[in-house]
Amino acid sequence: MRKSRAGISLVLFLLSVILWLLLTVFESALVGMSAGAEKILIFLLLVLPAGIGAILGLMSLIRKESRTGLAVAGIVLNLLFALFHTAILLFAG
């Protein structure tokens, strides 16, 4: 069975949310890191998977896969998540 890009997009969103929760729970382990290292870590763990998920959702719409609602949900959720955390990275500290 072939997986749709829209489904993978939503899986990447869920992965981003799980990583966000893990970073929140284990935030005390990041105390000794420099600010630049923290920003790189947050970009790699939160923004990058969500950005890739938004791109996959868009590709699903362009290729007109059967699950249009999943593709739109994947685009919106991933894009909002990525933009929110990008704004935090740009404006915090």
* pLDDT > 70 in the chain, percent: 97
Looking at residues 11-39, what average pLDDT do you find? 90
As a whole number, the mean pLDDT across the chain is 89
Indicate the DSSP class of residue 93.
-
Looking at residues 70-78, what average pLDDT do you find? 91
Distance of alpha carbon 66 from alpha carbon 59, whole angstroms: 12
Q: Which residue has the tokens 């994947």?
A: 74
- pLDDT at residue 2 above 70? no
pLDDT score of 6: 86
- pLDDT at residue 93 above 80? no
What pTM was estimated for this model as a whole?
0.86
pLDDT score of 75: 92
- pLDDT at residue 12 above 90? yes
